[in-house]
């Protein structure tokens, strides 16, 4: 091979080496930037999740305190007033004892709600049952809970967010739906927890509310945060249904 050919090969080889080196450098820079981007994104998501947990806990406590104030006034207050009237009218002590005993039972049930650690230490079914029992005690709405399948222990933080999503639905049902019945169903399948909560209220046109209702937006956003899917079904005079599908490995 002559000298010119050797130089050409050396030149081409040098160019290829430089191009390969440049490509490696570019890929490394791109990789590092993407790595920094994803780490930043992960950090932001973690902060958002922690903020959402804190907000959910505050909202749960606020909702609980509202319920407690109603229960003290409408339920326990009335029972104690009745006991006082019974004492003043010199009725049998058995009636008075029964009324005071019932008041003490109500106070014990109420004390579970006052404890800020109560929801954390309960599983989802227990926390929902506590709400259902309160609604029935106060005659807010006739409520039921059905649980199907083998219960799966959920992540405690996810448990709080799911409970808050349901609590928001319950609150809207009681305040706005004019419903007389509220049904909640938990179905623990092998891979997904299926939650269905339904009222028989006035309902609404879904397209008119989507994008406008803050409550619906909150529920959907919180579902995404824990890898779940939440959607609504509703129509005028046909009630409203919230369905949440939560995969255990979200």
Q: What is the pLDDT of residues 128-172, one digit of tens each?
A: 998 898 888 778 899 999 999 999 988 888 888 899 889 889 988
d(CA 194, CA 73): 36
Which residue has 């981007």 as its token pair?
37
Average pLDDT, the chain: 78
Residues 134 and 56 in one domain: no
> What CATH number is attached to the domain comprising 149?
3.30.565.10
Question: Residue 54 pLDDT more than 90?
Answer: no
Residues 61-66, mean pLDDT to the nearest whole number: 65
Residues 9 and 52 in one domain: yes
Residues 95 and 141 in one domain: no
Q: 112-133 burial string, b = 16+ CB within 10 Å, else e? A: bbeeeebbeebebeebbbbbbe
For residue 197, the SS3 value is: strand
pLDDT in tens, 180-232: 999 999 999 999 999 999 999 998 887 776 655 557 888 888 898 899 999 99
Question: Residue 99 pLDDT more than 60?
Answer: yes
For residue 43, the SS3 value is: helix
Structural domain range at position 15: 1-116
Question: Residue 8 pLDDT more than 90?
Answer: no
Question: Residue 21 pLDDT more than 80?
Answer: no
pLDDT of residue 218: 83
The reported pTM is: 0.64
Query: Is there a contact between 223 and 229 (Cβ–Cβ < 8 Å)?
Result: yes
pLDDT of residue 77: 62
Q: How confident is the model at residue 14 (pLDDT cuts 50, 70, 90)?
A: confident
Residues 241 and 145 in one domain: yes
pLDDT of residue 65: 64
Residues 147 and 170 in one domain: yes
Residues 3 and 96 in one domain: yes
**Boundary of a domain, candidates 74, 96, 116:** 116
Tokens representing 75 are 């339920």
SS3 track for 92-155: CHHHHHHHHHHHHHHHHHHHHHHCCCHHHHCCHHHHHHHHHHHHHHCCCCEEEEEEEECCCCCC
Neighbours of 138 (CB within 10 A): 15
């Amino acid at each position: 091979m002559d000298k010119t050919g050797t130089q050409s090969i050396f030149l081409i080889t040098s160019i290829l080496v430089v191009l390969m080196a440049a490509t490696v450098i570019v890929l490394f820079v791109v990789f590092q930037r993407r790595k920094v981007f994803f780490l930043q994104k992960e950090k932001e998501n973690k902060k958002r999740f922690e903020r959402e947990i804190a907000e959910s806990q505050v909202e749960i406590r606020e909702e609980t305190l509202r319920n407690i104030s109603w229960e003290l006034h409408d339920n326990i207050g009335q029972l104690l007033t009745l006991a006082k009237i019974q004492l003043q009218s010199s009725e049998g002590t058995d009636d008075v004892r029964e009324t005071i005993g019932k008041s003490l039972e109500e106070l014990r049930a109420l004390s579970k709600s006052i404890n800020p650690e109560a929801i954390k230490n309960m599983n989802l079914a227990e926390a929902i049952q506590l709400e259902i029992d309160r609604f029935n005690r106060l005659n807010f709405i006739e409520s039921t809970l059905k649980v199907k399948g083998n219960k799966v222990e959920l992540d405690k933080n996810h448990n709080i967010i799911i409970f808050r999503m349901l609590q928001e639905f319950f609150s809207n049902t009681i305040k706005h739906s004019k419903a007389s019945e509220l049904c909640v169903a938990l179905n623990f399948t092998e891979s997904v927890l299926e939650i269905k909560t339904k009222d028989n209220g006035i309902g609404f046109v879904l397209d008119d509310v989507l994008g406008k209702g803050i409550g619906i937006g909150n529920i959907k956003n919180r579902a995404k945060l824990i890898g779940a899917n939440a959607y609504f079904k509703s129509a005028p005079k046909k009630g409203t249904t919230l369905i949440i599908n939560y995969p255990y490995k979200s």
